[in-house]
Amino acid sequence: DSGGARIQEGVHGLAGYAEIFYRNVMASGVVPQISVIMGPCAGGAVYSPALTDFVVMVKDTSQMFVTGPDVVKTVTQEEVTFEELGGASVHASKSGVAHFAAENEEDALFIVQQLLDYLPSNNMEDAPPMGGHQDDPLRQDMELDTIVPDNPNRPYDMKTIIRHLVDDGQFFEVHEHWAMNIIVGFARLGGQSVGIVAQQPAVLAGVLDVEASQKSARFVRFCDAFNIPLVVFEDVPGFMPGLNQEHGGIIRHGAKLLYAFSEATVPKITVIVRKAYGGAYCVMNPRHLGADLVLAWPSAEIAVMGPDGAVNVIFRREIADAEDPAARKAELVA
């Protein structure tokens, strides 16, 4: 809760900022760092929470921005409110600065309490196991057979699968409202804290884009730093195409996720639930990047590309020469 540096202190105030930032960086990957923003956080003060692992903001009472509405109006002629510029909802859904948007201050502290349950005290320890869970690790859940649609193009909610598999159906999602085509969060399996990374077929068919790559790569690296095993649920048709993605650096950001999985030394398990196509398959923790175990759901499809795209490339001339190109293509795809 800070309005920025005291102008009267001059460079000494900036030195204080820099020393805090330095300590944030030195502690990164050593102890978990959580920032709770209860009120305005402006100017240089915003960089300390940005350097921490998790940021919790409170709706309607907390804002984060480098320059306030008055400066924005002077420089760009835009008129914006504090909430529009840097409110909790904005940072939780658009910028990705906030991992959680709490309803009030009590809710913010409860979120921190829940989060700490899954984390170790430092990078030399493991997360404490949690006893008392009711689920048998060897249980059979027949409902899992009904979640993935027979039609490979129909969406479904990957969170349903996650909740059926983890202890007591409890999944603590991180960045729930940002880059919603990929899911990250914490859960427990047999009482052991694990990090979950999963595509969300119900949003943009689960494709990987710039924001999804950033979100998941950072989460993977956090889990690796703090000895938290990773479980990946994969259903990815590929990377998002388009000028915005290419110009936004999808190659560079996609490489971050590939690097994060390759570098991670914690136990890594991948479950291919449905689609695993092309370069996106290579990025999502396959055996070739060092996955310790790769499991295939009965509906798994592992290929260079989907059947429709493959037929267009391989049988292009045959389809063009056919009396009924559409019918011939449908026959080849089938």
Each of the 334 residues of the chain gets a pLDDT tens digit; together they read: 776 667 777 787 788 889 999 999 999 999 999 999 999 998 888 999 999 999 999 999 999 999 889 999 999 999 999 999 999 999 999 999 999 999 999 999 999 999 999 999 999 999 988 877 778 888 899 999 999 999 999 999 999 999 999 999 999 999 999 999 999 999 999 999 999 999 999 999 999 999 999 999 999 999 999 999 999 999 999 999 999 999 999 999 999 999 999 999 999 999 999 999 999 999 999 999 999 999 999 999 999 987 887 888 888 888 888 888 888 888 887 7
* 246 and 209 Cβ atoms separated by less than 8 Å: no
**CA-CA distances (angstroms) from residue 25 to 22, 30, 53, 126, 136?**
5, 10, 11, 22, 41
Which one, of 133, 124, 119, lies nearest residue 172 by Cα? 119
Residue type, 254: G
C-alpha 284/C-alpha 123 separation (Å) is 24
Q: List, for residues 34-44, the tens digit of each pLDDT value.
A: 999 999 998 88
Beta bridge partners of 294: 270
For helices 250-263 and 210-225, what crossing angle results, to 10°? 20
The pLDDT value given to residue 285: 97
Active site residues: 43-44, 279-280
Name the average pLDDT for the chain. 94
Q: State the pTM of this model.
A: 0.92
Q: List, for residues 84-143, the tens digit of each pLDDT value.
A: 999 999 999 999 999 999 999 999 999 999 999 999 999 999 998 887 777 888 889 999
> What domains can you pick out in the chain, each with its CATH number?
7-117 (3.90.226.10), 142-303 (3.90.226.10)
